């Protein structure tokens, strides 16, 4: 047996070492980031348990006491990605002997019935994993993936797995196989490909996917990449023609999610995208009831604290900028002291910028008569000056329109590297936010209304 090399984070406290209940011995014969990691599954995501640095003979190993019986992952690389990672099942006193090859893995020596079953399954799904998960290597698209998906899905349904003698595992393993196929499919749909399917290209597998089937219980939270797959599940009905694929509202995200704890995960996804403390308070008021676990409450607390920190850090004096308006008159940000100013940095060539215009117009209409000034600054190049003027006229854009002649002072002052960018300044010309929510997000209106009242 090869010497086990344990990194300093692999539970080397002597009593824990002596009482370790799971032994993992392996060889890692493929690329790695310098270490092999052992992860547990927490709320559908990976959390590192230990690290082992492979020896000169590529050997690695772990001794650990599992916090619970269930799935664990061994791998390397980005913790968010399933690339170069393999799932195993551990319970008290288990042994795992494994060789990670350049394309997959094989079990060697003594191993549990559970992990022997997982190895058999992995060999079945491996061709689909290579196309779906390892997209940079395969160059696969839906054209070759969808037929293989149908073949392997049928094969998976027909393949019989003998009872392991562990009822808990046998129940979880059936769900694991379903989710493994869905993971490969989710990766195919959510990673860059040279060709993308339209609604008519989806095969029977997709048409039989029911979001409630995967969300009536918390199985996704016990799967290593459950939360990574949530977004695919949320968007799948729209991909199939039942909904708007560009609707990222929490209401759309929750469609079909049956379990309240999973709804809490949707709330946390939404919270992570917020830009203001006010937005968090509004979200919590409506949907905080779904944050049911201590883990969810803790993560929500981190998000809340960070947004509160940003809110209290605002208040510095704005850096002024001056540009010509539609009539050539030089106009500055400081000209509008006494009003709350919403600045929209945009360009006529920017698709997302133009996508926000209907919402911006609606917001301007809703706040008509209040002390809010809408100031749009185009970063179109000078050669497109007339194009900008024509666009403003044809789209009947309101507010004050300024022309910055490219990425000039405003981009330098406010570190703008991408558009659209929205910024809010208070009545005294102080910064409220230099990365405010977009008009399509009701957070922005809440922020403006709060500043108007001050």
Given the residues 16, 83, 350, 431, select the one marked as catalytic. 350
Query: Can you give the C-alpha Rg of the chain in angstroms?
Result: 27
> Which of helix, strand or coil describes residue 94?
coil
Q: How far is CA 346 from CA 78, 292, 384, 416, in A?
A: 34, 40, 13, 11
CA angle at 383 for the pair 381 and 385, rounded to the nearest 5°: 75
- The residues pairing with 39 across neighbouring beta strands, listed in sequence order, are 48, 73
Structure tokens at 161: 């797995």
- The residues pairing with 41 across neighbouring beta strands, listed in sequence order, are 46
Q: Annotate 227-261 with b (16+ C-beta within 10 A) or e (fewer).
A: bbbbbbbbbbbbbeeebeeeebebebbbbbbebeb
Given the residues 183, 353, 363, 411, select the one marked as catalytic. 353
Q: How far is CA 318 from CA 156, 216, 321, 431, in A?
A: 61, 50, 9, 5
Block residue for tokens 């917001």: 363
Please report which helix (H) or strand (E) contains residue 132, including its range. Answer: helix 113-132
Q: Is 13 a catalytic residue?
A: no
Query: Cα separation of 239 and 229, whole Å?
Result: 15
Report which of 34, 30, 33 is spatially closest to residue 103, judged by C-alpha positions.
Answer: 30
Report which of 252, 246, 244, 294 is spatially closest to residue 269, judged by C-alpha positions.
Answer: 252
Q: Is 350 a catalytic residue?
A: yes
Q: Are 440 and 354 in contact (CB under 8 A)?
A: no
Catalytic residues: 350, 353
């Amino acid at each position: 047996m090869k010497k086990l090399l344990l990194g300093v984070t692999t539970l080397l406290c002597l009593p824990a070492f002596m009482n370790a209940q799971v032994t993992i011995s392996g060889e890692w014969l493929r690329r790695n980031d310098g270490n092999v990691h052992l992860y547990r599954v927490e709320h559908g995501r990976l959390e590192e348990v230990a690290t082992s640095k492979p020896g000169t003979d590529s050997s690695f190993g772990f001794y650990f006491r599992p916090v619970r019986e269930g799935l664990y992952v061994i791998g390397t690389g980005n913790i968010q990605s399933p690339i170069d990672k393999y799932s195993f099942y551990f319970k008290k006193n288990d042994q795992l002997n494994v060789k990670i090859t350049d394309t997959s893995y094989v079990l060697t020596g003594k191993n549990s019935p559970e992990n022997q079953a997982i190895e058999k399954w992995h060999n079945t799904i491996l061709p689909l994993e290579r196309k779906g998960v390892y997209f940079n290597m395969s160059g696969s698209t839906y054209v070759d993936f969808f037929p293989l998906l149908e073949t392997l899905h049928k094969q998976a349904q027909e393949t019989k797995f003998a009872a392991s003698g562990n009822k808990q595992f046998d129940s979880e393993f059936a769900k694991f196989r379903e989710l493994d196929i869905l993971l490969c499919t989710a990766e195919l749909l959510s990673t860059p490909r040279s060709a993308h399917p339209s609604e008519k290209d989806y095969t029977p597998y997709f048409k039989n996917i029911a979001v409630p089937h995967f969300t009536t219980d918390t199985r996704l939270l016990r799967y290593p990449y459950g939360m990574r797959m949530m977004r695919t599940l949320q968007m799948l009905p729209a991909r199939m023609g039942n909904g708007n694929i560009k609707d990222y509202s929490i209401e759309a995200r929750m469609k079909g999610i049956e379990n309240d704890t999973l709804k809490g995960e949707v709330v946390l996804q939404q919270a992570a995208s917020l830009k203001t403390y006010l937005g968090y308070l509004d979200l919590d008021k409506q949907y905080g009831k779904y944050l049911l676990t201590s883990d969810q409450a803790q993560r929500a607390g981190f998000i809340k604290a960070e947004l509160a920190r940003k809110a209290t850090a605002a208040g510095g004096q704005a850096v002024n900028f001056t540009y010509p308006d539609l009539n050539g008159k030089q106009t500055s940000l400081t000209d509008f002291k006494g009003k709350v100013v919403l600045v929209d940095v945009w360009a006529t060539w920017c698709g997302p910028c133009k996508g926000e215009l209907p919402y911006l117009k609606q917001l301007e209409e809703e706040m008509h008569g209040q002390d809010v000034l809408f100031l749009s600054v185009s970063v179109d190049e000078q050669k497109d000056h007339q194009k900008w003027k024509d666009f403003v006229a044809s789209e009947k854009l309101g507010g004050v329109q300024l022309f910055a002649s490219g990425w000039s002072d405003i981009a330098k002052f406010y570190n703008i590297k991408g558009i659209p960018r929205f910024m809010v300044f208070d009545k005294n010309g102080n910064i409220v936010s230099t990365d405010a929510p977009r008009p399509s997000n009701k957070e922005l209106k809440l922020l403006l209304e709060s500043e108007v009242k001050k």
